[in-house]
């Protein structure tokens, strides 16, 4: 993309929502064509490093649990959860991504309820779920991720678990480059200005938010959660795949993903 189409600037909430819904609707086919095989039809992959829930078990016991996959994309994780005996619901803002979720359900025979909604206004009752999870969904793409954490806390029962993966915050120091160019620090870690792609009129077409590790922990604590673990998956031996800025070169030197594992304290 042309340099004048990429910037870091503040963006209003309405522009963020419009840009990211439009981006994922438009990009859904290309995204699935590029990454669908890696993600699978009925699988739960936490990150480009390839860590799977089948191995990590970050959600704990899932059989019989009511689970919300937030920012589900094509909902491969929700279908995997259903195959494990869970009762999942898959939610996304993008109709384009949910279309792929419906097609995958028809293809595999594994069907889960699909909901189109905003992560900042979840259409569910209080304490509706035992677990909420997302792999790179919703949290990096909303204007107010602290408010999203509060919404997750609202729909989660006491004692429930909230697990989400995002780009590791330290990656924001570097260019979005999987090669040698992505090894030199060029940005301040403390600059929270969003990454913005925009059209020729300066209107945002894609917006991704940056928060530091400390910001994320304060968001969780502020929403009433207790942090259980922070997982930084290492790049596995023999994994030579490239996904955007993720590559063996960078992955062997510093983390690309942060997975936050939190719990809502039990009542009393």
What is the mean pLDDT of the segment spanning 215-242? 97
Of the pLDDT bands very low, low, confident and very high (cuts 50, 70, 90), residue 1 is low
pLDDT of residue 4: 72
Q: Which band of pLDDT confidence, cut at 50, 70 and 90, is reported for residue 104? A: very high
Q: How far apart are CA 250 and CA 244, in angstroms?
A: 11
pLDDT in tens, 25-79: 999 999 999 999 999 999 999 999 999 999 999 999 999 999 999 999 999 999 9
Q: What does the mean pLDDT of the chain come to?
A: 96
- The whole-number average pLDDT for the span 81-98 is 98
2 band by pLDDT with thresholds 50, 70 and 90:
low
* pLDDT exceeds cutoff 60 at 263: yes
Average pLDDT over residues 144-148: 98
Confidence of residue 267 (pLDDT cuts 50, 70, 90): confident
Q: Are 134 and 167 in contact (CB under 8 A)?
A: no
Q: How far does CA 155 lie from the centroid of its chain?
A: 18
**pLDDT number for residue 3:** 66
- Residue 128's Cβ-side half-sphere holds a number of Cα atoms within 13 Å equal to 14
204-208 β-sheet, strand order: 6-8, 195-198, 204-208
Instruction: Return the pLDDT at 268.
Output: 63
pLDDT of residue 183: 97
pLDDT at 247: 97
Rounded to two decimals, the pTM is: 0.96
Say what the pLDDT of residue 119 is. Answer: 97
Mean pLDDT of the region 76-90? 98
- Tell me which residue of 92, 75, 53, 86 sits closest to 231, measured CA to CA: 53
Query: Could you give the CA distance from residue 268 to residue 140 in angstroms, rounded to a whole number?
Result: 32
Does the pLDDT of residue 80 top 70, yes or no? yes
- Backbone φ and ψ for 156, nearest 5 degrees, come out as -95, 135
Question: What is the separation, in whole angstroms, between the first and last Cα of the chain?
Answer: 53
> What does the pLDDT look like over 157-213, one tens digit per residue?
999 999 999 999 999 999 999 999 999 999 999 999 999 999 999 999 999 999 999
């Amino acid at each position: 993309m042309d340099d004048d189409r990429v910037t870091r600037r503040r963006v209003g909430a309405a522009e963020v929502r419009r840009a990211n819904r439009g981006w994922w609707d438009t990009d859904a086919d290309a995204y699935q064509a590029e990454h669908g095989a890696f993600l699978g039809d009925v699988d739960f992959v936490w990150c480009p490093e390839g860590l799977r829930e089948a191995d990590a078990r970050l959600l704990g016991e899932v059989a019989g649990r009511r689970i919300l996959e937030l920012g589900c994309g094509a909902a491969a994780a929700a279908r995997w959860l259903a195959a494990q005996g869970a009762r999942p619901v898959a939610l996304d803002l993008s109709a384009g991504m949910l279309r792929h979720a419906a097609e995958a359900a028809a293809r595999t025979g594994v069907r889960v309820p699909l909901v189109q909604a905003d992560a900042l206004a979840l259409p569910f009752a209080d304490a509706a779920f035992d677990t909420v999870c997302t792999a790179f969904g919703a949290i990096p793409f909303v204007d107010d991720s602290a408010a999203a954490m509060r919404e997750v806390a609202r729909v989660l029962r006491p004692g429930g678990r909230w697990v989400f993966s995002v780009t590791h915050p330290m990656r924001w120091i570097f260019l979005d480059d999987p090669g040698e160019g992505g090894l030199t620090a060029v940005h301040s870690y403390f600059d929270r200005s969003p990454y913005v792609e925009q059209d020729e009129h300066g209107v945002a077409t894609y917006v991704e938010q940056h928060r530091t590790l400390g910001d994320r922990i304060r968001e969780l604590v502020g929403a009433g959660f207790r942090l259980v673990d922070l997982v930084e998956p290492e790049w596995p031996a023999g994994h030579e795949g490239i996904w955007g800025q993720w590559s063996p070169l960078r992955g062997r030197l510093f983390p690309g993903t942060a997975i936050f594992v939190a719990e809502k304290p039990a009542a009393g």
